[in-house]
Amino acid sequence: MSVGLIFVAVIVAAINLRAAIASLGPVLPDVLAHFGAGGSLAGVITALPGAMFAVMGLSTVPLARRIGLSRTLLLGAVITLIGTAARPWLPGVWVFIVLTGLVAAGIAIGNVLVPAFVKKYGGRHTVTLMTVYSALLGFSGAVGPLSALLFHGESRWQWTLFIWALFCGVQVAIWTVVALRTGMDAPKAADRQAQIASTGPAATTSMWRSRTAIFLMLFFGIQSMNAYTQMGWLPQIFQENGVSPMVASIALAVVGSFHVLGGTVMPTVIDKAENFAIYPVIFGVLTAAGWAGILLAPTQVPLLWAVLLGMGGWCFPTAIALIPARTRVSLITARLSGFVQPYGYIIAAAGPLVIGVIHGITHSWTAILLGLMALALVMGAIGVRASRKTVIDDELAAAAGAKAQR
C-alpha cells in the first residue's frame, strides 16, 4: 500500500471524527423545537457520543481481531455515513436519537483504530501521521459548528447536519480501497501470545492495580466530559444568555480551533518537560475561568470565554499524549489506551446527560456552570497526579509481585 494512500486515509478519517458531532450543538435548539422535545431528551442526545465511545471502545478491538483492522475501519465509515445521511430526514425524535447513536458508534470505531492503523502501516512516517491526525481532529471539531452558518430557513438544521454526509461518502470510498489493498490484517494470535510472554507479569495484571492509570482515566474522563458538554450545550448556553446564534456557532468553532494547536504542541511539551505537573493546573484554571466568564458576562466578550475554554481543552491532547509517554512497551500502551478511553468516556457521557436533566428541571444554567467550574478545578488537581513521571509497566509489575508474595 502506498504512502500517499495511507496519508489520504488518515486525513479523511480525522476530518470525519468530530464534525458530525460538533455540527449538532449550534442547531440543537432547532432540533428540539422541531421534535417538541425537552431538556431531558437533549441530555440523552448530547450524552450519546461519550456513551457510544465507551461501548465501542470495549468492543472495537475484539471486532478488529475477527474481521481485520482496515475492514473494521471501513465498517465504522459506513455506519457513520448511514447515520449522518439519514438522521436529518427521518421522522420521530427517537429515530433521530438512534441515528445519532449510529453516528457516534461509527466515529468511535475510528477513534480507537486509526492510531493502531498508523502504528501498523505508518513506518518512518508514523510521527508525521499522528501529528496530522491530532491536528485534523481539532480542525474537524472547529469546522463542524460552522456549517450552521451556511443555511437559513425552516430546514436549516437538517442541511447543517446532512452536509457532513458528503465527507462521510468520500471516507467510505477511500477506506474501501484501503480494505481491498490490505485484506485480512488482523494480528495473529501467536504473535500476540509471544508479545504477552515477552512483556512479563505486567501484560496480564489489571490496570486497576496502577494508580497512575486510574488517575489518567479520571483525567481523560473529566476533560472529555467538558469537551462533549461544550460540543453539545455551549451554543445553547450562549443563546439562552442573549448571544446571537451566529456568534454562538463561531464560539464553538473557536474552541475547536485551539484543539488543533494543542494537538501539535502538547506531545512535544510532554516529551521535553522535566516537571509537567503545572500544565494540568493551568488548563483546569483556564477552563474554570471560561465557564465563569459565561456565567458572569456571557454577552460581553463571548469569544474570549471561548478562547479560555479552548486553551483549557488542551487537556485532551495532554491525556492522549500521556498514554504512550507513561508506558514502556507497545502492549502496555495498547492496554492502557483500552482502559483509559472506554471507562473515561463513561464519565464523559454522564456529564451532558446530567446537565440535560438539571436544565430541564431548573430552566437555569447557574448551578450547571458553577458545577462545571468546580469540576474543572478538580480535573486540574487529578491531572497533576496523572502526569507524574512514572512508568505504568513498573507499577503493574510491582503489583503483580506483591500479589505473588501473598
CATH number at residue 84: 1.20.1250.20
Q: Does one domain contain both 311 and 290?
A: yes
- Confidence category of residue 195, pLDDT binned at 50, 70, 90: low
Q: Does one domain contain both 163 and 280?
A: no
| The most confident of 18-32, 97-111, 162-176, by mean pLDDT | 162-176
pTM (predicted TM-score): 0.80
Q: Does one domain contain both 152 and 237?
A: no
Alpha carbon 396 to its chain centroid, in Å, reads: 27
Structural domain including 284 reads: 194-406
Q: Does one domain contain both 151 and 204?
A: no
- Confidence category of residue 177, pLDDT binned at 50, 70, 90: very high
Provide the pLDDT for residue 24.
92
**What residue type is assigned to position 327 of the chain?**
T
Q: Does one domain contain both 174 and 198?
A: no
Kindly give, in sequence order, each residue whose CB lies less than 8 Å from that of residue 249, ignoring residues fewer than 6 positions away.
26, 145, 146, 148, 149, 235
Q: Does one domain contain both 144 and 261?
A: no
Give tens-digit pLDDT for 34-93.
Answer: 998 876 788 888 888 888 888 887 888 788 888 998 999 999 999 999 999 999 999 999
Q: Does one domain contain both 175 and 247?
A: no
Domain closes at, from 146, 169, 187: 187
Which has the minimum average pLDDT: 129-138, 241-250, 308-317, 338-347? Answer: 129-138
Average pLDDT over all residues of the chain? 88
Q: Does one domain contain both 150 and 47?
A: yes
Cell numbers at 272, concatenated? 521535553
d(CA 70, CA 163): 25
Q: Are 104 and 80 in contact (CB under 8 A)?
A: no
Q: Does one domain contain both 28 and 140?
A: yes
Domain closes at, from 165, 187, 209: 187
Cell numbers at 287, concatenated? 477552563
**What residue type is assigned to position 18 of the chain?**
R
Cell numbers at 395, concatenated? 507499577
What number is the average pLDDT over the span 188-205? Answer: 67
Torsion, Cα 254 257 263 265, to 10 degrees, reads: -80
| 181 has pLDDT over 60 | yes
Q: Are 209 and 399 in contact (CB under 8 A)?
A: yes
What number is the average pLDDT over the span 189-206? Answer: 68
d(CA 151, CA 155): 8
Q: Does one domain contain both 306 and 248?
A: yes
Q: Are 24 and 158 in contact (CB under 8 A)?
A: no
Domain closes at, from 143, 159, 187: 187
Q: Where are the alpha helices (DSSP H) in 91-125?
A: 93-121
Q: Does one domain contain both 110 and 220?
A: no
Provide the pLDDT for residue 154.
84
d(CA 126, CA 121): 8
Q: Label residues 135-169 b or e (16+ Cβ within 10 Å = b).
A: bbbbbbbbbbbbbbeebeeeebbbbbbbbbbebbe
Provide the pLDDT for residue 194.
62
Domains: count for the chain: 2
Q: Quick one: which H or E segment has residue 204? A: none
- Confidence category of residue 193, pLDDT binned at 50, 70, 90: low
Q: Does one domain contain both 107 and 247?
A: no
